[in-house]
Structure 1
């Protein structure tokens, strides 16, 4: 019996130690990647955003960027500000519960709630209509935004999106983390120290077979997701997504605004034949640009093409298919990171 008590005390001591490591780690991460933007409370949610205004010299309508799972506003901002800065009013935001935004009401646990919060933020900032850009998980929110807020949608750009029900589920830690007590203990003890060891290999899988953008981890502050409250919000989003898109995808035919879908056949994170082909099939006014040997990050690997898609959604003539073929030639030799390993 003494051995049982000793083992139990050892386990409790280990958990307290890991909790302390997590708190120190979260403090260090927040010091390394502080909030850079402004805050506004809309839909009972304290939203963190950066609004890069064009100062009257714009040639494009406003653009709103929705980052993917495990991300924050730095991800799309690092990808697009260089090419679009000054050309449009650009709204980069931390989705509810991500980056430096608060989680807000329970409605923000699903894409329609987050879309409503984004719409409220647009109203707060005086953005009447915009091109909505959604990457990965942000694609599900972008589709919902076009469905529920057509008056605010000029067009939608989907980048390696999630949008439809897929076979299988999600990684185990997404399902574990929202579980009461056990999930809380996991997020407060193990998620951060073990997550730090997975940040760079995980980034390689996100980009594979393309080489990751230089200093991507440092520039985008990926580690912010490892803070316990952010980790729980992200896990809740992902664990509930399959049920949500299963109910919502049949409604996509109601979306009348134009859309462009840019996806790669070597995406190791989502299934492009399920999601991107599904959007092409279900959206009445969608153009699919299918890129051979492109992974999950067209926002970085195909930035020129994505910018041209935004221009086309704004009304400019752009031959996206020709640009896509040119990009295929450019990246045909990319062999960074085995897709097969990342799919395991």
Structure 2
């Protein structure tokens, strides 16, 4: 009898937790609605925003893991106000869908290239931050004719950077995975997002209202969480496949790396990669962290100008 009572109580608590978690996700979607336009590419709906004069060479901005286009937009919108900029929610993140197929940087680069086709854009200068840097390099490797140059901000490029965080792998465990993504992620995720932001900015300060302004909580939506978790769970395998080919990239490329970055070891990523490329330059920024584009906008603008000049 006692066992039945305990089991019934656990079931009721689980149901109540799932209801609360679902309401949290609904609230997140209401608080952070799509702010751009939707473009359908090969049956996949992508969310993006275009700003600036259309007669300039486009700049494509690719955000990093766990975020969306609002993250770099907050940092660089004013700096790039006179540029034609494509701010993209990378497939599976923000409000962009991801095809229901095995995913990889190669597949993502191919879909982004087809987006450029849809928008009738021949070439673009690409800015990639963190994991967006890995996608940028995949674009340069697979579709070099579509890229005019690269500005890579604290990019994640080197294989075997350590095991994926346990929660990324746990999201795909049988039985536990669905409960984790539907229950624990919405209920406990927001404090983790804030602590993650502090780590990403260290040693620089997190801008006031950063999490809210960048719609960071969209990561707690089930499809967003699973897309990002899959990317990060497979990160070493993806980078192992593309790292040996970086020397083939001939585009003018400028790497921006923070001396204080605690998210990744930039000597291993930006440093080693830049040394292997024919037309690359690494610019160290003292006192900067992983999200350096929020406090070092002048360095980003100078890199863009120098890539074009080069």
TM-score range, shorter chain: over 0.9
Contact 2:158/2:268 (8 A) holds in 1: yes
Deviation at 1:6, TM superposition (A): 3.6
Aligned partner of 2:62 in structure 1 is 66
Query: Does structure 1 residue 92 correspond to structure 2 residue 91?
Result: no
Q: Deviations 1:153-180 (Å, cap 9, x if unpaired)?
A: 0011111110111342121101111234
Aligned partner of 1:39 in structure 2 is 38
1:97 is paired with a residue whose SS is coil
Q: Deviations 1:40-85 (Å, cap 9, x if unpaired)?
A: 11133210111114144x4xx2100111111001011111111111
TM-score (norm 1): 0.86
Contact 2:134/2:156 (8 A) holds in 1: yes
2:50 is paired with a residue whose SS is strand
Deviation at 1:17, TM superposition (A): 1.9
Q: 2-side partners of 1:141 and 1:122: how far apart?
A: 15
Q: From the superposition, tell whether residues 246 and 55 of structure 1 become closer, same or farther in structure 2 (CA, over 3 Å).
A: closer
**1:148 alignment partner, one of 123, 138, 142:** 142
Q: 1-side partners of 2:122 and 2:20: how far apart?
A: 45
Contact 1:45/1:105 (8 A) holds in 2: no
Aligned partner of 2:157 in structure 1 is 163
Contact 2:91/2:97 (8 A) holds in 1: yes
Contact 1:46/1:104 (8 A) holds in 2: no
2:261 is paired with a residue whose SS is coil
2:300 is paired with a residue whose SS is helix
The Cα RMSD (Å) is 1.5
TM-score (norm 2): 0.95
> Which stretch has the larger CA shift, 142-151 or 162-171?
162-171
Q: Deviations 1:198-248 (Å, cap 9, x if unpaired)?
A: 222221111011011222111101001011121111101111111110111
Aligned partner of 1:225 in structure 2 is 219
Deviation at 1:34, TM superposition (A): 0.4
Contact 2:59/2:124 (8 A) holds in 1: yes
The number of aligned residues is: 310
Gaps in structure 1 of 5+ consecutive residues: 317-344
Contact 2:161/2:236 (8 A) holds in 1: no
Aligned partner of 2:243 in structure 1 is 249
Gaps in structure 2 of 5+ consecutive residues: none
Aligned partner of 1:27 in structure 2 is 26
Contact 2:92/2:227 (8 A) holds in 1: yes
Within 5 Å, which residues of 2 pair with 1:314-333? 314-315=308-309
